[in-house]
Copies of this chain bind each other. A is one copy, B any other.
Amino acid sequence: MTDCGYPREGIEAPKCTAGVRVLKLTIAYDGTRYHGWQAQAGTKHATIQNILQQALSKILHEPVNIVGSGRTDSGVHAQGQVAHVRMKNCMLPRILQRALDSLLPRDISVIRISRVGNNFHAQFSAQRKRYRYRLVGAARPSPFAQRYVHRVGRPLRVPAMRAAACHLIGTHDMAPFQVMGSPVKDTYRRITDVRVQQQEGEIWIDIEANGFLYKMVRRIVGTLIQVGVGKQTPRVIHEILSTGEAGLVGPTAPACGLSLLSVKY
């Protein structure tokens, strides 16, 4: 055993200095079999945060609290979730990453670990987040993408969806797009980029903003689907944002199509 609790020989442990270090973790996961990111005390549901916390505590021999950039819902995936941990243990990031690699299940992967300043906070330091929603219209998704793509079951008019999506750019009160009864006070968000692309036989809707309300992406996508199937005109987004009329918002799109692509700091 080295000072840093890592059992292999020949790996040089850095000299431990007093105090706490902060590490930034970039994490990818297939959310299919998890009850979302958020640790749930007192339940048996597996969550990403719980699994990471257990693995980290086991490796570092200290209780660890891993703080994510935000929650992802049950069944939602991530290609670039970001989290931080504060720890006393002075294990090198690459050693920690290797140890995590051997403990984590195959559907959760810590793809990068770096040391950051003590002021870094995965949630509060985040400047922008980018989500991608993958869907198909009437076509059948590839059997290899079935866990990551929502099938609408009807043909979609992509140009109309793209025209509707344009109205999202800018700073708006996004309250109509959050789930009713959410406790958030400030519901204004700045949407910096929206793209509706046709890729690999699918439609990808990318949305980047300085923050997201609860189920906001899935309710936006649900509304764009209504436009795509012709139940709404592309102006509906503008109407919702200018009148605050939540009744015009489409049904929340299923979790499986959604992935947190990246968080920018």
* A residues in contact (CB < 8 Å) with B: 28-30, 77, 79, 101, 106-109, 111, 140-144, 146, 148
Contact for A146 among B107, B141, B142, CB less than 8 A: B107
Contact assessment for A29 and B107 in the assembled complex, using a CB-CB cutoff below 8 Å: no
Contact assessment for A30 and B144 in the assembled complex, using a CB-CB cutoff below 8 Å: yes
Contact assessment for B142 and A28 in the assembled complex, using a CB-CB cutoff below 8 Å: yes
15 A-B residue pairs with CB within 8 Å: A28-B142, A28-B144, A29-B143, A30-B146, A77-B143, A77-B144, A101-B140, A106-B141, A107-B143, A107-B146, A108-B143, A109-B140, A109-B142, A111-B140, A144-B148
Contact assessment for B143 and A28 in the assembled complex, using a CB-CB cutoff below 8 Å: yes
Interface of A is mostly: loop
Looking at A79, A143, A148, the one whose CB has the most chain B CB atoms below 10 A away is A143
- Which of chain B's residues have a CB closer than 8 A to the CB of A148? 144
Complex: how many Å from CA A79 to CA B144? 9
Complex: how many Å from CA A116 to CA B111? 49
Shortest A137–chain B CB gap in Å is: 13
Complex: how many Å from CA A142 to CA B110? 10
Complex: how many Å from CA A108 to CA B142? 9
Complex: how many Å from CA A4 to CA B143? 29
Looking at A29, A140, A148, the one whose CB has the most chain B CB atoms below 10 A away is A140
Complex: how many Å from CA A109 to CA B141? 8
Complex: how many Å from CA A245 to CA B65? 56
Contact assessment for B109 and A30 in the assembled complex, using a CB-CB cutoff below 8 Å: no
Looking at A30, A107, A144, the one whose CB has the most chain B CB atoms below 10 A away is A144
- Which of chain B's residues have a CB closer than 8 A to the CB of A106? 141, 143, 146
Shortest A122–chain B CB gap in Å is: 19
Contact assessment for A109 and B28 in the assembled complex, using a CB-CB cutoff below 8 Å: no
Complex: how many Å from CA A29 to CA B111? 29
Shortest A262–chain B CB gap in Å is: 15
Complex: how many Å from CA A107 to CA B141? 9
